Amino acid sequence: MLLLIEFQDPKVYLVPLGIALILLEAVLSARHDEHLYEWRDSAASAGMGLVATLLGIATKAGTLVVFYVVFTALSPVRQRWLGYDALSAASAVVWVLVILGDDLSFYWHHRLSHTVRVLWAAHVVHHSSQHFNLGTAFRNGWVIFFYKPVFWLWLPALGFPPVMVVLAMSISSLYQFFLHSQKIPHLGWAEKVFNTPQLHQVHHSCNHAFLDKNHGGILIIWDRLFGTYLDSRHPEVRQFGVLSPPASFHPWTIFAHEFQHLGHDVRQAASWSDKLKYVFYPPGWAPNNSGQTARQLQQQLAAPETLAPAPERAKNAPAVCPNHPSPRLFFLSPMHTLTTLSQTLARLKKEGYTEDFNLNGAYLAGQRSAIQLAPEEFVVDQHFRFEGPTDPADEAVLYAISSARFNLKGTLVNGYGVSSDEAADQILRTIREQTT
């Protein structure tokens, strides 16, 4: 049996290797003008990753102790009912089994981290970047280490040596680092069994159709078995990020923003039942169907003609992804070439409109730059009107906006029932006046 003193976490080699690969990917991105990295976003990921790494080191011994207590306490039970004391770390079959067990544990830990709001508040950090690159792999939450081992307790309980379990967890983390790259193409048959960068891009996308999909670590078979798989060749353009972004590059804001939103919702809830539901129900849940969970959004996509219009959402809970305001296909009015909203957004980004604007009172707020533009500080260069394929009244307008003062170009999408206050209505009127 492996002893604690023999343990050496292979993840110690990940940091120098990871930094080298991140620098290589950043150089290739710049050389090919791909805009995979943005320095403030990367600095935020590095800050989050540094604290997470230190916390991971600090809690590793505690995790081993907890596993060892479970392992030893249940030894008599295993001997009586299973006929053995411990599984042998010298057996290749046992190693295969512990890797499979670890991956199954990760799947359910990861899936619940998306479907239980308090767990999502801890995990959202990893999804908060609107960029997808190797640096994102280090962008991890700071409290996950304190509860994550609970999902693995069944392995030492069955007799897998504690060090063996922790090594399996580290091997999974090493594998998953390489999933966070856009430089690796589709891998054919391998995507039927293994998680791949293309499949993981789907997981990191905030398109409504992509939410809560592909939770696997090393293997994708769990998603296929439990109904959360989505093919990486889905035709929709992927838009990375979350539905309610932190709108800041400050590490503390990135860490705390969803906990703050959760606390606000719990405080204003009318009953103890609603307070508990805010904590343990999926993100997006609200009383009286006043919110929309990922499942509800996807049901709306599947049968938009049979569902009632989405209810108006609170101002602090955007109904749509900042990069991709709706996953439904919309078409330009007849004056433009037939295309989709996501394709138009992708084209504008290639033309330099890389910022994503949201309404913030009487200003336009840049998600990446955190710059707020007053009406006199920007102009509308282009605008595109999209009509719903089943209802022409269901429309959105995409604005290509530039600011000479801040040397900034980006896009704003208005529509899909997004609510606004009087100040936001005023700036929308200003924008519309520039398009007439």
pLDDT at 316: 34
Question: Which residue did the predictor score with more confidence, 347 or 177?
Answer: 177
- Interval 290-317 mean pLDDT: 61
Alpha-carbon distances of 198 from 179, 203, 357, 412, rounded to whole Å: 8, 9, 27, 27
| pLDDT of residue 330 exceeding 80 | no
User: 171-180, pLDDT tens digit by residue?
Assistant: 999 999 999 9
| pLDDT of residue 317 exceeding 70 | no
| Confidence at 14, pLDDT banded by 50, 70, 90 | confident
- Interval 108-130 mean pLDDT: 97
User: 272-294, pLDDT tens digit by residue?
Assistant: 999 999 999 999 999 988 788 99
- Interval 105-111 mean pLDDT: 98
pLDDT at 408: 82
| pLDDT of residue 42 exceeding 80 | yes
| Confidence at 79, pLDDT banded by 50, 70, 90 | very high
- Give the position of tokens 């539901």: 277
pLDDT at 219: 98
Pick from 54-63, 293-302, 418-427: least confident = 418-427
pTM for the model stands at 0.71
| pLDDT of residue 20 exceeding 60 | yes
Structure token digits, residue 436: 């007439």
Mean pLDDT of the chain: 83
| Confidence at 5, pLDDT banded by 50, 70, 90 | very low
- Interval 212-241 mean pLDDT: 94
- Report for 25-39, 206-220, 324-338, 401-415: range of highest mean pLDDT: 206-220
| pLDDT of residue 423 exceeding 60 | no
Structure token digits, residue 134: 């190797």
| Confidence at 237, pLDDT banded by 50, 70, 90 | confident
| pLDDT of residue 98 exceeding 90 | yes
- Interval 6-22 mean pLDDT: 75
pLDDT at 397: 80
| pLDDT of residue 416 exceeding 60 | no
| pLDDT of residue 391 exceeding 70 | no
| pLDDT of residue 338 exceeding 90 | no
pLDDT at 345: 81
User: 157-175, pLDDT tens digit by residue?
Assistant: 999 999 999 999 999 999 9
pLDDT at 389: 46
Structure token digits, residue 209: 């159709």
pLDDT at 352: 82
**Rg, C-alpha atoms of the chain:** 24
| pLDDT of residue 222 exceeding 90 | yes
DSSP collapsed to 3 states, the chain: CCCHHHCCCHHHHHHHHHHHHHHHHHHHHHHCCCCCCCHHHHHHHHHHHHHHHHHHHHHHHHHHHHHHHHHHHCHHHHHHHCCCCCCCCCCHHHHHHHHHHHHHHHHHHHHHHHHCHHHHHHHHHHHCCCCCCHHHHHCCCCCHHHCHHHHHCHHHHCCCCHHHHHHHHHHHHHHHHCCCCCCCCCCHHHHHCECCHHHHHHHCECCHHHCCCCCCCCECHHHHHHCCCCCCCCCCCCCECCCCCCCCCCHHHHHHHHHHHHHHHHHHCCCHHHHHHHHHCCCCCCHHHCCCCHHHHHHHHHCCCCCCCCCCCCCCCCCCCCCCCCCCCCEECCCCCCCCHHHHHHHHHHCCCCEEEEEECCEEEECCCCCEECHHHCEEEEEEEEECCCCCCCEEEEEEEEECCCCEEEEEEEECCCCCCHHHHHHHHHHHHCCC
| Confidence at 307, pLDDT banded by 50, 70, 90 | very low
